[in-house]
Amino acid sequence: MRSLKYTFWQDGEFFIGFLNDYPDYETQGFSKEELLENLKSLLIDIESNEIPFIRKVEELAIA
């Protein structure tokens, strides 16, 4: 089991959020539970290359 950080907020009747590693890709749900399921589904799509041109953030170590 692994854990990923996500950011979410409520806008009217929707819960909107994104995985912090992939902030360009938002999803939504009518409940927080539905949002979490949609975030899991989004991660599966990202990791299986279903979504093209994924931007990633990494660190560069400079000595």
Q: In three state form, how does the secondary structure of the chain look?
A: CCCCCEEEEEECCEEEEEECCCCCCEEEECCHHHHHHHHHHHHHHHHCCCCCCCCCCCCCCCC
Note the residue count of the chain: 63
Q: What average pLDDT does this structure show over 30-55? A: 94
Q: What average pLDDT does this structure show over 3-12? A: 96
CB 46 within 8 Å of CB 38 = no
Rounded mean pLDDT of the chain?
94
pLDDT tens, position by position, 8-26: 999 999 999 999 999 999 9
